[in-house]
Chains A and B, each alone.
Chain A
Amino acid sequence: MLGHFVAVAVGGALGAVLRAAVSVAMPAAAGGLAPTLVVNLGAAAALGAIVGLARRRPLSPRVSAFLATGLLGSLSTYSTFAVEVHELLLAGRVVVAIGYAVGSVVLGIAAAWTGRRIAIGFATPRSPAASS
């Protein structure tokens, strides 16, 4: 149990630093919304791929704690996303706020689904009928 939380902590520290580095690297892009969108969609797709691969060959609990719960859980963020939507609403940019909010979730689901499909495709050996 302790090892589980240590793996989460190391992954969580890396994810948070990586997310902060992305926001420093592209602060003004797309009205300041790009960093959150990039880390959220990237992490959703990567986690989808991990979940898809795990269907074929289950990950060790320690690796899953580090990668899924720690690194990708921490790299992506819901709170910053929610505050950004609220700040757009406060600024009276209602259409942008709704577009960013709904667009993030729709693209996030699509990213998770795509990562999962690709991983399942790679992890599943082709049947003789399909390859002939």
Chain B
Amino acid sequence: MTLATWLAIAVAGAAGAVTRAALDTFAARRSLRARRTTATINVGGSVLAGLVAGTVVACGTVAAATVLATGFLGAFTTFSTAMNQIVLAASDGDRVGGAASAVATLGLAVAGAAAGWWLAFAFAAACR
């Protein structure tokens, strides 16, 4: 990767993390559960990442794909927070809720990535 790509990943990573923090703040002010906010971010980011990955396969190499997928969406979504929120739920006595959240997030994120991928192929004609 070129220096410009590394710098772009840094900037996109900052933007992704700030977008996640802004959504966290927004949701917390409306007393939404933090675990649900993280799940929404992770599923939404997975749909977009599937869309980017599908576009690369459908349209050939796209210059911004690495910066978008690795930089922005990689930083926007988070595995560490999701796992720790499950542990916190369990330590608060809500093991069932934590486990349900882990399973639902995994299923919806993979299904979302698949949906994004197929959406890219549906619109692949646009890039030719």
Contacts and interface: CB of A to CB of B under 8 A. Distances in A.
A78 B11 contact: no
Contacts of B16: 12, 16, 74
Residue from the set B12, B13, B46, B81 with the largest chain A CB neighbour count within 10 Å:
B13
Interface SS of chain B: helix
A12 B82 CA distance: 16
Assign chain B's interface to a size class. 35 or more
A77 B68 CA distance: 13
B87 to A, nearest CB: 5
B64 interface: no
B83 A82 contact: no
Contacts of A59: none
A122 interface: no
Interface string B63-102: 0000001110111111111111011100000000000001
Interface of B: 1, 6, 9-18, 20-22, 24, 42, 45-46, 48-50, 53, 69-71, 73-84, 86-88, 102, 105-106, 109-110, 112-114, 117
